[in-house]
């Protein structure tokens, strides 16, 4: 991607001319299925990138989260968290379990600069969409894999919903306090946006 210093395009859509943001012109493909990847994509969007969110046929899981963090049954209503994280992003529905869906994803990856995913280690590779296959499609693609426990080792497949009890004062009153997965998700996505 190249742009001139006189480029007056803006990452703010039709809001008029504005300053070039650091990632103006960068195309991001968001394959994430939770908070961490979606927040990472939002931060990239805030720096000027154009984000395309890939959703499964039933809609992104965050569409069903209510403001209180509980999961509702109404899949048609967008949750507050989804609107916050995906606002202003282009959305495409792709079934990654089908051959046509995987082909569509590879087509989208061919024109992307960055791909963000937050599936447990090996899930995309099992679908035929691992980093090697993606790089065969687009040698310039930067793949950001956000996983709570890394890409290797005995716990790499754990989802971020796994949480350990945290000791508290007077545990006999209420039982152990559990750190929610949201804290880890926000932290992971912020760390993924630290550029070398």
DSSP for residue 65: B
* pLDDT at residue 22 tops 80: yes
Predicted confidence at residue 185, as pLDDT, reads: 57
Return the C-alpha torsion angle 154, 158, 161, 167, nearest 10.
0
DSSP for residue 77: S
45-91 pLDDT per residue, tens: 999 999 999 999 988 888 877 655 556 554 445 678 888 888 899 99
Average pLDDT, the chain: 75
Domain limits of the chain? Answer: 28-67+74-150+179-192
Provide φ and ψ at 43, rounded to 5°.
Answer: -65, -40
C-alpha span between 16 and 10 (Å, rounded): 7
Fold entry, domain 28-67+74-150+179-192: Rossmann fold (3.40.50)
């Amino acid at each position: 991607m190249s742009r001139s210093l006189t480029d007056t395009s803006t990452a703010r859509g039709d809001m008029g001319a504005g300053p070039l943001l650091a990632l103006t012109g960068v195309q991001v493909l968001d394959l994430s299925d939770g908070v961490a990847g979606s927040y990472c994509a939002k931060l990239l969007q805030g720096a000027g990138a154009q984000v395309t969110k890939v959703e499964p046929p039933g809609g992104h899981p965050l569409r069903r989260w209510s403001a209180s963090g509980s999961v509702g049954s109404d899949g048609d209503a967008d949750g507050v968290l989804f609107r916050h994280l995906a606002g202003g992003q282009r959305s495409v529905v792709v079934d990654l379990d089908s051959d046509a869906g995987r082909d569509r994803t590879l087509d989208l990856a061919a024109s992307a600069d960055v791909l963000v995913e937050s599936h447990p280690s090996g899930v995309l590779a099992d679908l035929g969409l691992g980093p090697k296959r993606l790089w065969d499609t687009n040698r310039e693609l930067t793949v950001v894999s956000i996983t709570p426990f890394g890409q290797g080792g005995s716990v790499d497949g754990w989802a971020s919903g796994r949480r350990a009890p945290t000791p508290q004062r007077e545990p006999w009153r209420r039982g152990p306090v559990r750190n929610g997965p949201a804290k880890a998700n926000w932290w992971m996505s912020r760390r993924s946006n630290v550029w070398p």
